[in-house]
Amino acid sequence: MAAELVGRFAFDRPSLPSIALSVNTSSITAIANDYGLDQVFSCQIEALARPGRISTSGNSANVLCAFSTAKEMDLQTVALTGKTGGKLKDSANHCICVPSNETPRIQEYHGMISHMLSELVEQALCKRESRVSGSQRIIAEIRFQEFKLTVSLLFLG
């Protein structure tokens, strides 16, 4: 999803700030050596995240630490998890739980959800309609109300 936001998803536009915390092996190695594996994401959150910017089990210690750090910084968080949401469900401001316990299915849905969120972010920030086309158009509507996240999928033929 970070690549879709920094680059583009559906149309040309200015790049949007986004980073995948799992891809900088130098940072991951240094942080793990100095602080332990549980801190590899939370140290990056502390260094890079600012208010206003945005594991399938939901129980990974490093992800939970990152969400804890984000909460301490008063950041809004959205988690993508499997069926139960694990411990992460209670740590995140909003949790999208894929209705499956099978890792491959969860990851497939996460990919689709990431593309839909990328499209929504582009449309919201750039005030333009998507040019994504196909025989079926997938529309995701996200409503934040009283700290609840509702995702509605509408498949049009």
Q: What is the pLDDT of residues 21-67, one digit of tens each?
A: 888 899 889 999 999 998 988 888 888 766 544 456 778 887 888 88
CA-nearest of 81, 76, 73, 128 to 100 is 81
CATH for 132: 3.40.50.10490
Tokens of 10: 């559906």
> Which H or E run includes 107?
helix 103-126
Q: What angle do CA 7, 140, 81 make, to 5 degrees?
A: 80
CA atoms of 69 and 75, how far apart (whole Å): 9
Q: What is the pLDDT of residues 107-147, one digit of tens each?
A: 888 888 888 777 777 777 777 776 665 433 444 443 333 33
Q: How many domains does the chain have?
A: 1
Calpha distance 92→70 (Å, rounded):
9
pLDDT-derived band at 155, boundaries 50, 70, 90: very low
Domain span at residue 107 reads 2-156
Give the count of beta carbons closer than 10 Å to the beta carbon of residue 134.
Answer: 6
Packing angle of the helix pair 25-35, 40-48 (nearest 10 deg): 110
CB 97 within 8 A of CB 89: yes
Query: Mapped to the 3 state alphabet, what secondary structure does 30-73 carry?
Result: HHHHHHCHHHHHHHHHHHHCCCCCCCCCCCCHHHHHHHHHHHHC
User: Looking at residue 8, what DSSP letter applies?
Assistant: -
